[in-house]
Structure 1
Amino acid sequence: MSGVSIIGAGLSRFGRQPGVTGRQMALEAVRAAVADAGVSWPDVQVAFGGSDGSGLADTLVGDLGLTGIQFTNVKNGCATGGSALVSAIDAIESGRADIAVAVGFDKHPRGAFDPRPEDWGLPAGYGEAGLMVTTQFFAIKIARYMERYGITAPTLAKVAAKAYRNGALNPNAWRREAMAEEVIATADMVNDPLTRYMFCSPGEGGAAIVLASEAAVRRLGGRPVRVLAAASRTRGFGSFEVFAPAVQGSGDPTSVSTDAARAVFELAGVAPSDIDVAQLQDTESGAEVMHLAECGFCEHGEQEKWIAEGRTEIGGALPVNTDGGCIANGEPIGASGLRQVHEIVTQLRGEAGDRQVRGAPRLGFTHVYGAPGISACTVLGV
C-alpha cells in the first residue's frame, strides 16, 4: 500500500474544440488540478506527462512557470496517462518529491488513427496489408471472444447505450445525448460485429492529477484520495494485442490487463469484489465486456448476465465508466487514463452530481490498455 494521495484533479472539456490547441487543454487541466489541490505551480517538484501527437509535455513549463522542475515526457500509447501517473507515484514513494503532477493531453484529427508500422517494430508490409487499422483488430478480438464465451451482439449495443446515457450526465463529455440500443445496433457496420456507435472516436482533451506524500497531505489538508496501489505491465508471451495479433503457444491467449489488475489488487490488499466504482478502457464496447473479466470482476462469459441485469449501470452493483468512458468522451490518447482517475476521484469525493454512485463509494479502480500490449491500473480509496 502506497503512502501517496491525490490532492488535486483537473480536466478540460473533451470533444472537438476548434481554435484550442492540445497544449491549451493541458494547461487548463494542470491549472485546475493545482487550484483544486490548494497549491501553486512552484510547489510542484516533479512532473510526468505525455501526448501522442500534440507536442512535448515538458514544454508546458513555458506557460506554467520556469521553476527548473524535473519534467519527464511519457509516451505509452493509450496507457500514456496511466504510465505518467505511475511514474509520479514512484517519484513520491522514492522520496524524490513531496508534490508531483501527472498530465496527459491530445488533439486528434477526424477519422481513424493512422500509426506507422515501423514505429511499432513491424515491417512496412504489415501496414500495406491494412493490419494497422485498429478497428479490424478490435473486431477480430471481440468476435473470437463472443464465439468462445457466448456473448451476443445485443450486449455490445447495451454497453454503448450505457456510455451515452452516462455521458449525457457529464458536463465535460463530448457525446452528451443518449442513444437507443436499436439505433446503435443497426448503425453502419464498421468491422463486424462492431457498428459505428460502438466505437470511441479520436478526440481532444486534457487531464491532470496532483499527488502528494503523507507529509504534504498532513501539511496541506484538503480532500485527499489515497492511492492504495498503482501498477503497469507490458505484454507477456502468448498475448493477443493491438499490432501483435497472434495466438502463441497453446491454450488461451494471456492478457496484459489481467497481469496489471492482479498486481494492483495484490499491492492494495483488496479484491475486485471490494471495488465500488470502476473505470475500464472502452475503446469500443467489446473492450469493456472483455476487460470486466480480464480485470477479475466476473468470470468470462458472465458479462452477458451482468449487463442484462444492469450491474454496471450507475445504480448497479459495480458502476463502470460513470462519466461515459471513451465512447462518450472520445479518446485523446494522452489524456484518457488521467480522465479515468479524475472521475474516480470525483466519485469518491461525492461530487459527481447526477452521475454520482449511491452509497458513498470508498474504493475505486481504473484500468487503461494500450498498443501493443501495455496496461496500467490503480486502486484508489477514501
Structure 2
Amino acid sequence: MNDVAIIGVGLHPFGRFEGKTAMQMGVDAIFAALADAGVDWRDIQFATGGSWTVANPDAIVGMVGLTGIPFTNVFNACATAASAAKACADAIRLGDYDIGIAVGMDKHPRGAFTEDPALVGMPSWYAENGQYLTTKFFGMKANKYLHDHGISQQTLAKVAAKNYRNGSLNPNAFRRKPLSEDEILGSPMLNYPLTQYMFCAPDEGAAAVVMCRADLAERYTSKPVYLRAVEVRTRRYGAYEVNTTFAPVEEDVAPTVYAARAAFEKAGIGPEDVDVIQLQDTDAGAEVIHMAECGFCAHGEQEKLIADGATEIGGALPINTDGGLIANGEPIGASGLRQIHELVRQLRGEAGDRQVPGEPKVGFAQLYGAPGTAAATILSR
C-alpha cells in the first residue's frame, strides 16, 4: 500500500459568474492545480470528479486535453468532493497509478435547494406549496440540538459572524463583507432558530487537487501535504435527512460520528492533534453540531468555546478559516475540495491574512450530504 501526498491544489473563486459554465470553471481549477504542482496535464494518469448539475464531468477531458486517461464520475450529495478525493487517493494507495487529479464543479441557480426540487428528482409542486424541506429540516435539527444542550441562538450568530469575518480575508469567497452578530440576528427568520444570514447559499465554483505516491512527492514540491485518511460513512439505522425521513433514528448514530472516528483511527491521529479544521456549515447550527460529532468537544461545550474565541483563526480550534460554506456558498461538487484547498494552504503556511499561527501540522475536514452520508478527511505535513 502506498502513502498519498497532495502536491497541487487549484480553486476557481466561488460566487456567481454570468456566462461561464461549471465545466469552464472546472478547467480553470484543473490548470491552477497543475500549475501549483508543477506538472502538465499529460503527466496525469487518471482523474475522478463530481458535480450535482453536470451529468458527465468526465467530458472535461475534452476541454483540458484528450489523453485517453480513465475518468471516474462520482456523486454523493454534499459529500461528493470527498468521495472524489477518496477514489483518487485509493487508486494511488492500491498501486494502480502514481499520479492523479480529483476535480469538482457546480453552477447552481439562486435558491436551487428550495425552489428547484427537480434537481433531486422531485416534482415542481413540492416546492410551490412549501413542502421542500431543506431549510426547515436544518432549522428543526438546530432547534432541537440547542434545546437539548443549553446553547443559545446568540452562539449561532457568533459562528456566522466569525465565518463572514474569515471570508472577508479570502479573495476567493462569495460573501466578503463582515456582518455583526446583531445584523445576523436581525436578518429575516427563515426557520427558527436560523435567520437568513446563518445559512450558506447555493452558488458556483470549482476546485481540483493533484495527488501522487508519497515517495514521489519531492520530485514536484518541497512542501508535500500527506493525505492520511478519507473515510465516507452512512447511517446504520433508518434515515434522517431532508427528503427521505423514515424510521426512528437516535441522535448518536449520525454518520459524521462514524466517518470521523474511522478517519482518526486510520490516520493514527486524534482530535487533540488537529491544528486547523473545516466543518460543513450549511447553516451555523451545523458547525456547532459537527464540532461535537467530530470529537473536538463534548455536546454542550460549544457555547463556551465559541464565546472564548477557540474557533477563531488564532484560537485553539480554528474552524472554517476561509469562511466555510457561510462565506463561500456551496457549489456542491466543489465544496469538499475547497476545504482541502484551504487546509493545504494552511499547512504550507500560504493562507495569508487568515493563516493560523504556530505552523499548523494537521488538518481535518468534514462533509455531510443528504440523505445521511458523511465524510472525514485528515491531512498532515
With normalisation by structure 2, the TM-score equals: 0.95
Per-residue deviation at 1:222? 3.6
Residue 146 (structure 2) pairs with residue 155 (structure 1) = no
User: Quick one: distance in 2 between partners of 1:378 and 1:77?
Assistant: 16
Structure 2 CA distance for partners of 1:221 and 1:13, relative to 1, 3 Å: closer
Stretch moving more, 230-239 or 282-291: 230-239
Which residue of 2 is the match for residue 368 of structure 1?
367
Which residue of 2 is the match for residue 236 of structure 1?
236
Which residue of 2 is the match for residue 75 of structure 1?
75
RMSD: 1.9
Structure 2 CA distance for partners of 1:373 and 1:2, relative to 1, 3 Å: farther
The one-letter amino acid paired with 2:50 is G
Per-residue deviation at 1:129? 7.0
Structure 2 CA distance for partners of 1:109 and 1:124, relative to 1, 3 Å: closer
Instruction: Map 1:63-102 to 2 at 5 A.
Output: 63-102=63-102
Instruction: Map 1:198-209 to 2 at 5 A.
Output: 198-209=198-209
Which residue of 2 is the match for residue 144 of structure 1?
144
Residue 164 (structure 2) pairs with residue 169 (structure 1) = no
The one-letter amino acid paired with 2:299 is H
Per-residue deviation at 1:248? 1.3
Which residue of 2 is the match for residue 292 of structure 1?
291
* Overall identity of the aligned pairs, in %: 56
Residue 114 (structure 2) pairs with residue 115 (structure 1) = no
Deviations 1:92-119 (A, max 9, x none): 0111110011000111111241334974
Which residue of 2 is the match for residue 328 of structure 1?
327
The one-letter amino acid paired with 2:296 is F
Stretch moving more, 143-152 or 211-220: 211-220
In 2, are the aligned partners of 1:225 and 1:348 still within 8 Å (CA)?
Answer: yes
Deviations 1:56-104 (A, max 9, x none): 2100011111100000111111111110000001110111110011000
Per-residue deviation at 1:337? 0.3
User: Quick one: distance in 2 between partners of 1:133 and 1:147?
Assistant: 21
Which residue of 1 is the match for residue 305 of structure 2?
306
Per-residue deviation at 1:245? 3.7
Which residue of 1 is the match for residue 266 of structure 2?
267
Per-residue deviation at 1:241? 2.6
Per-residue deviation at 1:46? 1.1
Stretch moving more, 218-227 or 140-149: 218-227
In 1, are the aligned partners of 2:133 and 2:243 still within 8 Å (CA)?
Answer: no
User: Quick one: distance in 1 between partners of 2:190 and 2:147?
Assistant: 19
Structure 2 CA distance for partners of 1:151 and 1:21, relative to 1, 3 Å: same
User: Quick one: distance in 2 between partners of 1:71 and 1:64?
Assistant: 13
The one-letter amino acid paired with 2:109 is P
Per-residue deviation at 1:134? 0.5
Per-residue deviation at 1:130? 4.3
Deviations 1:3-44 (A, max 9, x none): 001000000111011121111110000000011111111111
User: Quick one: distance in 1 between partners of 2:243 and 2:189?
Assistant: 22
Unmatched segments (≥5 aa) in structure 1 = none
Which residue of 2 is the match for residue 28 of structure 1?
28
User: Quick one: distance in 1 between partners of 2:252 and 2:216?
Assistant: 43
Structure 2 CA distance for partners of 1:154 and 1:37, relative to 1, 3 Å: same
Stretch moving more, 205-214 or 216-225: 216-225
Instruction: Map 1:120-131 to 2 at 5 A.
Output: 130-131=130-131
Structure 2 CA distance for partners of 1:274 and 1:65, relative to 1, 3 Å: same
The one-letter amino acid paired with 2:152 is T
Which residue of 2 is the match for residue 248 of structure 1?
248
Structure 2 CA distance for partners of 1:91 and 1:19, relative to 1, 3 Å: same
User: Quick one: distance in 1 between partners of 2:323 and 2:127?
Assistant: 32
SS of the residue 2:183 aligns to: helix
Residue 229 (structure 2) pairs with residue 226 (structure 1) = no
Q: Report how many residues are paired.
A: 379
The one-letter amino acid paired with 1:373 is G
The one-letter amino acid paired with 2:31 is R
User: Quick one: distance in 2 between partners of 1:354 and 1:342?
Assistant: 16
Per-residue deviation at 1:215? 3.6
Structure 2 CA distance for partners of 1:159 and 1:343, relative to 1, 3 Å: same
In 2, are the aligned partners of 1:156 and 1:286 still within 8 Å (CA)?
Answer: yes
The one-letter amino acid paired with 2:304 is K
